């Protein structure tokens, strides 16, 4: 596969776009991961059936309110997971871990997102070009195949980085917090190289989200773009079309394929409770019901809409600028 100057442009543009999106929405990424997990303070708690939960306070025992560690005098018979709002989670992280807590995992996130987006857009553009030469050009089938190849390549190459990022985002300590080096060492000591690929099966299933997104993105973008005699107005409308197409396509894809994200986060947690893709999926259903598979969806949508718009507008803009100056 020959690499052309245009391929390099797509590679660089993808890296820049991924960096912009990740840096702008990192706090919401941390919040989403915490809500998805079972290890955060507002995770799954065992409580007595038909008895209101209580928490220990300095002056005795009072009904539990908000999010805190609590106990109950009655026997344990039922498991529940409190519903936690996005803003409540942000405030708690800021209170217990400081503002830096909202940017945990940003280092590996950028380390992963830059090559991930660069590799994805490069592979997607290359496959799209190749398939357009042997198939009906720019059809949904071309976009599906291109997205799948791009997603599979990126997932295989970058999965260890995402595992480290998730572990760092789930770390709730202000002092003596988990560092990237400590995390890598701990995972390797406990599980060897295979430990860095926990949750990769869920990630492969998650390729369907990327495929759905790019099929809808290409379709929405083509419908929204139109010709205009004023070049400046045409460029502005093109950017707006790209932003809308990026946001809408990601929202649709996220809603359809979201459960794999919750399963993947649980598999990447420390501990042995979640062992495999099917076991984790069924365990979440058993303990939390269907709603458990959609924990953090609102936060994900709030994060993904601007993130996708930023990524797609940045990507298309960088490609256009680099093609003009080359």
Give tens-digit pLDDT for 214-234: 889 888 888 886 544 455 466
Residue 15 or residue 42, greater confidence = 15
For 56, the enclosing helix (H) or strand (E) is strand 54-57
% residues pLDDT > 90 (the chain): 33
Q: Where do the domains of the chain lie, and which CATH numbers do they carry? A: 5-41+103-325 (1.50.40.10)
Owner of token pair 């830096």:
100
DSSP state of 196: G
**277 HSE (CA, 13 A, CB side):** 12
**156 HSE (CA, 13 A, CB side):** 7
Q: Is 46 helix (H, G, I), strand (E, B) or coil?
A: strand
Task: Provide the pLDDT for residue 160.
Answer: 93
Tell me the CA distances in angstroms from 92 to 66, 83, 89, one per residue in order. 11, 14, 5
Q: What contacts 221, CB < 8 A, 6 or more positions away?
A: 241, 242, 245
**pLDDT grade, residue 237 (50/70/90)?**
confident
Task: Provide the pLDDT for residue 324.
Answer: 85
For 303, the enclosing helix (H) or strand (E) is helix 297-325
Q: Which long-range contacts (CB under 8 A, 24 or more apart) does 87-93 make?
A: 89/31, 89/34, 89/35, 89/42, 89/299, 90/27, 90/31, 92/41, 92/42, 92/67, 93/30, 93/31, 93/34
Task: Provide the pLDDT for residue 73.
Answer: 37
């Amino acid at each position: 596969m020959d690499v052309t100057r245009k391929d390099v442009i797509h590679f660089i543009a993808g890296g820049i776009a991924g960096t912009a999106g990740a840096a702008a929405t990192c706090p919401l990424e941390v919040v989403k991961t915490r809500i998805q997990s079972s290890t955060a303070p507002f995770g799954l708690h065992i409580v007595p059936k038909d008895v209101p939960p209580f928490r220990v306070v300095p002056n005795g025992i009072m009904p539990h309110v908000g999010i805190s560690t609590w106990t109950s005098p009655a026997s344990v018979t039922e498991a529940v997971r409190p519903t936690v709002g996005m803003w409540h989670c942000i405030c708690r992280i800021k209170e217990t871990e400081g503002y830096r807590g909202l940017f945990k995992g940003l280092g590996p996130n950028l380390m992963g997102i830059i090559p991930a987006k660069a590799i994805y857009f490069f592979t997607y553009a290359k496959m799209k070009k190749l398939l357009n030469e042997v198939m009906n050009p720019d059809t949904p089938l071309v976009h599906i195949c291109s997205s799948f190849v791009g997603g599979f390549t990126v997932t295989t190459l970058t999965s260890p980085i995402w595992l480290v990022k998730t572990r760092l985002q789930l770390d709730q300590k202000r002092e003596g917090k988990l560092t990237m080096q400590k995390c890598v060492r701990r995972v390797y000591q406990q599980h060897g190289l295979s430990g860095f690929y926990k949750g990769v099966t869920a990630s492969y299933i998650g390729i369907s989200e990327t495929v759905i997104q790019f099929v809808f993105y290409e379709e929405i973008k083509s419908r929204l773009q139109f010709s205009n005699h004023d070049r400046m107005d045409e460029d502005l409308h093109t950017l707006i079309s790209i932003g809308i197409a990026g946001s809408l396509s990601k929202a649709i894809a996220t809603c359809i394929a979201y459960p794999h994200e919750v399963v993947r986060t649980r598999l990447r947690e420390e501990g042995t409770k979640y062992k495999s893709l099917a076991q984790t999926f069924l365990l979440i259903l058993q303990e939390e019901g269907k709603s458990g598979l959609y924990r953090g969806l609102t936060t994900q949508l709030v994060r993904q809409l601007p993130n996708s718009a930023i990524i797609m507008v940045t990507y298309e803009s960088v490609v256009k600028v680099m093609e003009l100056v080359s």
